[in-house]
Amino acid sequence: MEPIPLSSGSNTSWALPLAKQNKWILIDAGAEIDSPTLSYSWDLMQTALLHENITPQDIELVLITHEHIDHAGLAYKWAASGTTILAHPFAQSKLIQGNTGHVLDRARRIEYLRKNGLPDSIAENLHKSSAVPALRWQSCPASAIATVNHLDEIDLAENKKLTIISAPGHTRGNLVALIKEDSSLFSGDTLLERTIPTSGLHFVEDEVKKSDSPISNYSHWPSLPVFIQSVNEIQKEHISTIYPGHGPQINNPARVFQRFLKHHEKRGHRINLLLESNEGYSPYMIAKLMFPRVSDQQIVQAMIEIIGHLDLRKVSENTETI
């Protein structure tokens, strides 16, 4: 079974035949890109499908690997075609909220970064740069969304099964999908060939912090510790091929697993040394020590990784005291 790649910008969705004749499942909905023409990425995907003699109505299921705009942005269009959207319970609210939730999460990230030392000038520039979004994320109707959970199975052609594996880290609702018969993994953004996926900054609603500002009604969800745990668990499946959410298939998965885990081992060691010799420094100050000449956007990415390793450090300290 050879999955069919479908591009939407830098994203790759993958089409697989279902056990039901002439019906297909798509791994990730794709990004909604309206440039250079309206509905550009949607039209591109439809053209690619028609080239394989597949119509939009033949796509019975779309599996969302995680609740990010570039992977779920076209979910509402698939839903309008009669497709059922499969998503982890933690991902569903983001699909329903669409751009409203995306904008709120971005505002919360900026506020949280400010609390961790990000200068107001950089924060204001981040606000301005997000005023005109590069992608669109329209709400997906709740009635079109169905829940998938860890170890659920979907019947594919050739008597194969697609097994859902909950893999939190890149997001709370992150999942991957495995064809055990082929040792093939559909990884979304959990594992990529050329970059180390970010654990990001994630938040959960907090009733205790209820205030007039929805931006403040949250608690930080520590994502890097569970991200590393997820990758370690997936590695036990002895994957032979990875079909990622960006780029072509990966035929040397062992190298991708090793690079991800080695990166965080080395980065964590360096961050811990800096924290020990610069007690009281904020994540922003540590980021400036590590990367003194990078852009403001790169400093933000560095801060997010440092916050992740601080979360990892807390987990390690708590484990040692038990």
Domain assignment present for 216: yes
Contact by Cβ (8 Å): 250, 193: yes
Instruction: Give the mean model confidence (pLDDT) for residues 290-302.
Output: 95
Whether 108 shows a pLDDT value over 90: the answer reads yes
The CATH number that applies at residue 169 is: 3.60.15.10
Domain assignment present for 113: yes
Domain assignment present for 276: no
Domain assignment present for 290: no
Percent of the chain exceeding pLDDT 70 equals 94
Percent of the chain exceeding pLDDT 90 equals 87
**Per-residue pLDDT, 316:** 80
Contact by Cβ (8 Å): 33, 8: yes
Whether 201 shows a pLDDT value over 60: the answer reads yes
| pTM given for the model | 0.94
Domain assignment present for 10: yes
Domain assignment present for 293: no
Domain that holds residue 246: 4-264
Instruction: Give the mean model confidence (pLDDT) for residues 146-156.
Output: 98
Local confidence band at 295 (pLDDT 50, 70, 90 cut-offs) = very high
Whether 207 shows a pLDDT value over 80: the answer reads no
Local confidence band at 36 (pLDDT 50, 70, 90 cut-offs) = confident
pLDDT digit string, tens, across residues 223-255: 999 999 999 999 999 999 999 999 999 999 999
Distant-in-sequence, close-in-space partners of 162: CB < 8 Å, separation ≥ 6:
16, 25, 63, 153, 154, 156, 177, 178, 179, 186
**Per-residue pLDDT, 241:** 98
Distant-in-sequence, close-in-space partners of 137: CB < 8 Å, separation ≥ 6:
32, 69, 72, 73, 98, 99, 102
Return the structure tokens found at 179.
Answer: 């064809």
Instruction: Give the mean model confidence (pLDDT) for residues 165-170.
Output: 98
Domain assignment present for 306: no
What crossing angle do the helices spanning 253-277 and 283-290 adopt, rounded to 10°? 110
Q: Rounded to whole angstroms, how far apart are CA atoms 33 and 133?
A: 11
**Per-residue pLDDT, 272:** 94
Distant-in-sequence, close-in-space partners of 150: CB < 8 Å, separation ≥ 6:
164, 165, 166, 175
Domain assignment present for 233: yes
Instruction: Give the mean model confidence (pLDDT) for residues 187-216.
Output: 83
Q: Rounded to whole angstroms, how far apart are CA atoms 204 and 212?
A: 17
